[in-house]
A and B are shown apart, each in its own frame.
Chain A
């Protein structure tokens, strides 16, 4: 198990390095001048030149990259030109917010998607199945940022049930920072009022992000359950009198979610993509918002760091997915 983790983590390194090189090269070869961007719009040619030298933009690209890697190894991701803070610190604030959001979205997607998919499979070709199928197709076609605005219109502006934006009401102060996740920290501090408030702020963004996930998971669960139902062991379990509901909900489902769990890994990419726009709409102070700000301001250090962070999250999620496979299927666990 440990060996598996180490091996998988090592395997990820080359592709993270590749990603870094790719981003690094992209940012240096495109027509935008990093020094000019750093200096700001009012800077003179001389000021730009000074900045170019100061940040080492005048050196050869490979040298710049090596210097960057060296700094990164010491945990120094550079200073953000936009926030004027160390990028590492910015990421440290934004990351927990995004993790909290995307984790809840995935959880929601699984909690809704798996039962929907199972119901559709058990009653396949029934009107219920067709309805669920239409829902899943629609869920994949809806633009996240538009859904976010529509939800805000309905639940925040019109009905007033949920807060419009942010992570916490502005009148409240965040719970003591332990994990950075407000839901966890508020519970640790015993502040149920904060927990409730954070949850109400989380509801709409998490649901918005969950919608495509619900659709994907429902789809793959349906296919998985249908496939499992054809297996000999299901016929056997029926023949020895397993209660039908338990048969489906426990014995069939565990064999069927493998494909859906694999999808969770792939979904995460879509989730992060979606978070870029959705976080912005809900003013959620996460990686997505930070990325947009960084990109709009051509904040090079921040862009590099964000790309790297996202790459790492992605890799971690995929390793977790493999571990989940091991938990589901003992035969997979033995190969780890």
Chain B
């Protein structure tokens, strides 16, 4: 409770938490909140490209669908994709980082070198190549993004493991004959929990942004999914007349990413007060 109060004293972090909670709420209740839940997939050619009004607060798109409803419904996709990507990346990166940090030797070297190589290419380029090679779809976009993000978890966990590894209690555990897996997952991993959580939060923001780029380039979500990036791509040929079509999905991306970034920064400061000044 005290910790929560301390966290809430950090105004930007609290704003971030608020935005993230709001996003989760919108994602969960999407169809109930959207004024025209069917507009996710249904088109109404007669009312296409209408400017914002009381009826359609964000206007309508090229197929006459309510942009406001699609932005709301898109939240579920954006958050879902990000959650999947971060989970897969975590499932890959965390054990690899643990093993590399705990075991040492050639295996550790090999894992860390692969990590370096993947990190040596801009994430998006790699993701784009992968996504395209796997046949464009939401699933391959997710796989591609996860395949480029796991090294971040690997590095974080590796550093943490190396730090904890030298702590006395690990020697003690080895002394009483605890198995390496037990030590890694039951004793070392909990120590690395905070940096992993921070990394995951920041990763959510990063992934929402990158997934949007993939969608925009036509390598992620496919029509008629109410994807934010895709909507912006579709809007381009109706500019500058239908400015609302491009503007609002972009604002949604901005807000969601902002929320996760603020929350991530706040968590990092909270977990590691030494960094507090350096934000």
A and B touch in the complex (CB under 8 A): yes
Asked whether any CB of chain B lies closer than 8 Å to the CB of A295, the reply is yes
Q: Which residues of A contact B114 (CB under 8 A)?
A: 18
Question: Bound complex: CA of A296 vs CA of B130, how far in Å?
Answer: 11
Known: A15-B117, A15-B120, A22-B117. A226 touches B277 (CB 8 A): yes
A229 to B205, CA, bound (A): 32
Q: CA–CA, A153 to B241, complex, Å? A: 9
Residues of B within 8 A of A273 (CB): 122-125, 210, 213
Cβ A32 vs Cβ B240 within 8 A: no
Tell me whether B217 and A137 are in contact (CB under 8 A): no
Contacting A at CB under 8 A, from B98-116, are: 113-114, 116
Max chain A Cβ within 10 angstroms of own Cβ: one of B121, B210, B278: B121
Question: Is B250's CB under 8 angstroms from A295's CB?
Answer: no
Residue B134 at the chain A interface, CB threshold 8 Å: yes
- Chain B contacts for A26, CB-based, 8 A: 129-130, 133
> How far, in angstroms, from A140 to B116 measured CA to CA in the complex?
24
B-facing residues in A8-40 (Cβ within 8 Å): 15, 18-19, 22-23, 26-27, 30-32
Does any Cβ of A come within 8 Å of B77's Cβ?
no
Instruction: Report the Cα distance A203→B232, complex, angstroms.
Output: 22
Are A32 and B125 in touch, CB under 8 angstroms? no
- The reply to whether B117 and A276 form a contact with Cβ atoms under 8 Å apart is no
Q: Does B94 have its Cβ within 8 Å of any Cβ on chain A?
A: no
CA distance A152 to B240 in the complex (A): 9
A134 to B261, CA, bound (A): 12
Which of chain A's residues have a CB closer than 8 A to the CB of B262?
A: 137
Tell yes or no: B182 within 8 A of A by CB: no
B133 surroundings in chain A (CB, below 8 A): 26-27, 30-32, 298
Among listed A85-93, A171-179, A305-313, A322-330, interface-contacting one: A305-313
Q: Which residue of B lies closest to A223 (CB)?
A: B278
> In this complex, what residue of B is CB-closest to A268?
B122
**Cβ of A296 and Cβ of B218 under 8 Å apart?**
yes
Contact of A146 among B128, B240, B254, B277 (CB under 8 A): B254
Q: Is A61 an interface residue (CB 8 A)?
A: no
A142 touches B122 (CB 8 A): no
Chain B residues closer than 8 Å to A15, beta-carbon distance: 113, 116-117, 120
Given A158-B240, A273-B123, A296 and B116 contact (CB-CB distance below 8 Å): no
Contact mask for chain A residues 148-173; partner B; CB cutoff 8 A; 1 contact, 0 none: 01101100011000000000000000
Contact B124–A276 (Cβ < 8 Å): yes
The answer for the CA separation of A193 and B17 in the assembled complex, in Å, is 51
- The answer to whether A310 and B258 touch across the interface, beta carbons within 8 angstroms, is no
Contacts of A149 in B (CB 8 A): 232, 235-236, 239, 246, 250
Q: Is B194 at the interface (CB under 8 A from chain A)?
A: no
A311 contacts B12, CB within 8 Å? no
**Taking the nearest CB of chain A, how far is it from the CB of B148, in angstroms?**
10
Q: How large is the interface on A (under 10, 10 to 19, 20 to 34, 35 or more residues)?
A: 35 or more
In the bound complex, CA of A307 to CA of B123 (Å): 11
Residues of B within 8 A of A30 (CB): 130, 133-134
| Total B residues in contact with A, Cβ cutoff 8 Å | 51
Contact residues in A for B205 (Cβ distance below 8 Å)? 141
Q: Tell me the minimal C-beta distance from A259 to chain B in angstroms.
A: 8
Pair A140/B261 contact, Cβ less than 8 Å: yes
Chain A, residues 26-57, CB within 8 Å of chain B (1/0): the string is: 11001110000000000000000000000000
Q: A15-B120, A32-B135 are in contact. Are A137 and B128 (CB under 8 A)?
A: no
For the complex, give the distance between the alpha carbons of A143 and B229 in Å. 9
Q: Which of B123, B129, B279 contacts A295 (CB 8 A)?
A: B129
Query: Contact between B239 and A314 (Cβ–Cβ < 8 Å)?
Result: no
CB of B274, distance to nearest CB on chain A (Å): 12
Q: Is B253 an interface residue (CB 8 A)?
A: yes
Chain B CB count within 10 A is highest, among A142, A150, A277, A314, for: A277
Is B47 among interface residues, defined by CB-CB distance under 8 A?
Answer: no
Question: B250 touching A23 by the CB < 8 A rule?
Answer: no
Q: Which of A137, A274, A310 contacts B121 (CB 8 A)?
A: A310
Contact of B239 among A157, A311, A315 (CB under 8 A): A157
Known contacts A277-B213, A314-B121: A153-B253 contact under CB 8 Å: no
Taken together as a complex, chains A and B put the C-alpha atoms of A17 and B136 apart, in Å, by: 28
Check if A23 sits within 8 Å of B129, measured CB to CB: yes
Neighbour of B254 across the interface among A18, A141, A276, A311, CB < 8 A: A141
27 contacts between A and B (CB under 8 A): A15-B116, A18-B117, A27-B129, A31-B134, A141-B205, A141-B261, A145-B212, A146-B249, A149-B235, A149-B239, A149-B246, A223-B278, A227-B278, A269-B122, A273-B122, A273-B123, A273-B124, A276-B128, A277-B217, A280-B217, A292-B128, A295-B132, A298-B132, A307-B126, A307-B129, A310-B122, A311-B121
- Across the A-B interface, give the 10 residue pairs with the lowest CB-CB distance, nearest first: A273-B124, A146-B250, A223-B278, A157-B240, A141-B258, A30-B133, A141-B257, A269-B122, A18-B117, A273-B122
* Apart from A30-B130, A31-B135, A269-B122, 12 more pairs, CB < 8 Å: A18-B114, A140-B261, A142-B254, A149-B236, A150-B250, A276-B124, A277-B213, A277-B217, A292-B217, A307-B121, A307-B126, A314-B121
